[in-house]
Amino acid sequence: MKMFGRLSCALPALMILCAASANADTVSDLAAKAKTDSWGYDFLADLTTDIGPRMAGSKAERDAAEWAADRLKKAGFDEVHIEKVKVPYWARGAEEASVVAPRNQPLAVTALGHSVPTQAGGIDAELVLFKSFQALTEAPEGSLKGKIAFIDQRMVRAQNGEGYGVAVRSRVMGPSEAAKRGALALVIRSVGTDNHRVAHTGLTIYAKDAPKIPAASISNPDADLLERMAAKGPVKLHLKLDNKTTDAETYFVVGELKGREHPEQVVLIGGHLDSWELGTGAVDDGAGVAITAGAGKLIAELPQRPKRTVRVVMFGAEEIGGADDAYEALHKQEAGNIVIAGESDFGAGKIYNAEMPAGALNTPFGKQLTAALLPLGVDMLREGSSHGGADIEGLHEKDGVPFMDFGQDGTHYFDIHHTADDTFDKVDAASLAQNIAVWASFAWLAADSDVDFRAPAATSK
């Protein structure tokens, strides 16, 4: 592998890869070390074992934050601390759903995040099936009075996960659209690509101009069942949810490697430490935290710090929403010094492409990153349409912080996303190591460069 970075600079076709051999040596060493260093994988094993589920606002999330801060200190970060902000703590209670007519059949169900509870005895009502979110929005006002609406839209599997954006409308906007039409509750087909009896939870957002109705998802096989039943005649459902929301705090765990020349300039990388509580948050987003903290740990072990500061942030309350704005509000003053930010929040699937800010591809940074990532299997580097991550969107939108993105193989990501199946066994160690190598390469190259990612052309050589 090192051939590309070290030995073949004389070959014309490979000259682009030899832009800066000292940097190339460093990133090559980082990548080699990522392959054999188990710190990130062990972090994830221990996070899911010693802590487990860690819902935003829960005691478990606080325990996780303290546990993770301790890990960062032991890993050699220069400065580690925890920041706190207020969030609602939405606590899942007992949940049950079943078909009660034409025949009793139990359903694998889970409440959507922020859902209000049902009345104590639950709701029993006739189901009205919609093939898609769009179909629900076309139903007349009042047409769902006394009914439970059911959106039966399937998510489409894709390597880049793009089926999610289409399907997730059912979950995020479905409850209020159903409520506006008079529905007592909404049930959706899980926003997921698997066929297991585990329902996918996730955030819903109630509109201000609609009643808040209970909302839940059922597993794909259960949705198949309802589809077959509904094709035969009327179906009646029972749904009982018992959630409650209280005031709480969430936590941002921060570890910094102080820049040797420009400590005030920050390359920010991170994931989110909170998780849905059905699984143990191994893939979403223990993996992203392990990847970015693991990358930081490798940089911490280099003989010298890069010019700029590398900051690893383990965000809180990503799943339940609002964390990006909270982080931005806390850091508005220094946002101009955050030179670039990236978030890993798509599991541990192998990285296959990269997207940097417009103009960055032709800078020394861009050339060195291209050279560094090629031997790691990342051969599509582009620029200009990075879309960041949920936790750093606030910084981007309000303060213009530039984004770095890495595209991961998410073919199977939505099989387990937001389910009880999100457990440690789903993470491939080699793939996690490749992610760590990529993030370490990026963070080190960005932090050791002088590129102004807000205006790369000005710094391009």
Alpha carbons within 13 angstroms on the beta-carbon side of residue 295 total 33
Query: Across-strand partners of 83?
Result: 252
Closest CB 154 distance from a second copy, rounded Å: 12
Residue 296 φ/ψ region, left for φ over 0, alpha for ψ in the -120 to 50 degree band, beta for the rest: alpha
Binding footprint of a second copy on the chain (CB under 8 A): 45, 48-53, 102-106, 108, 195-198, 220-221, 224-225, 228-229, 232, 279-280, 419-421, 423-426
Closest CB 51 distance from a second copy, rounded Å: 7
Q: Is 318 helix (H, G, I), strand (E, B) or coil?
A: coil
Cα–Cα distance, 380 to 263 (Å, whole number): 31
Catalytic residue among 61, 256, 277, 318: 318
Cα–Cα distance, 173 to 177 (Å, whole number): 6
Of 47 and 438, which has the nearer Cβ to a second copy? 47
Instruction: Estimate to the nearest angstrom the gap between the alpha carbon of 88 and the chain centroid.
Output: 19
Closest CB 228 distance from a second copy, rounded Å: 4
Of 208 and 232, which has the nearer Cβ to a second copy? 232
Closest CB 103 distance from a second copy, rounded Å: 7
Token pair for 76: 């050699």
Of 345 and 415, which has the nearer Cβ to a second copy? 415
**Residue indicated by tokens 């000005």:** 458
Residue 114 φ/ψ region, left for φ over 0, alpha for ψ in the -120 to 50 degree band, beta for the rest: left
Cα–Cα distance, 296 to 221 (Å, whole number): 42
Token pair for 294: 């693991």
Neighbours of 143 (CB within 10 A): 12
CB-CB contact of 56 with 316 (8 Å) = yes
- Sequence length of the chain is 461
Of 108 and 291, which has the nearer Cβ to a second copy? 108
In degrees and rounded to multiples of 5, residue 359 shows phi and psi of 95, -10
Of 222 and 256, which has the nearer Cβ to a second copy? 222
Active site residue 318: yes
Token pair for 345: 């929040």
Closest CB 52 distance from a second copy, rounded Å: 4
Closest CB 105 distance from a second copy, rounded Å: 4
Of 41 and 444, which has the nearer Cβ to a second copy? 41
List, by residue number, the catalytic residues.
318
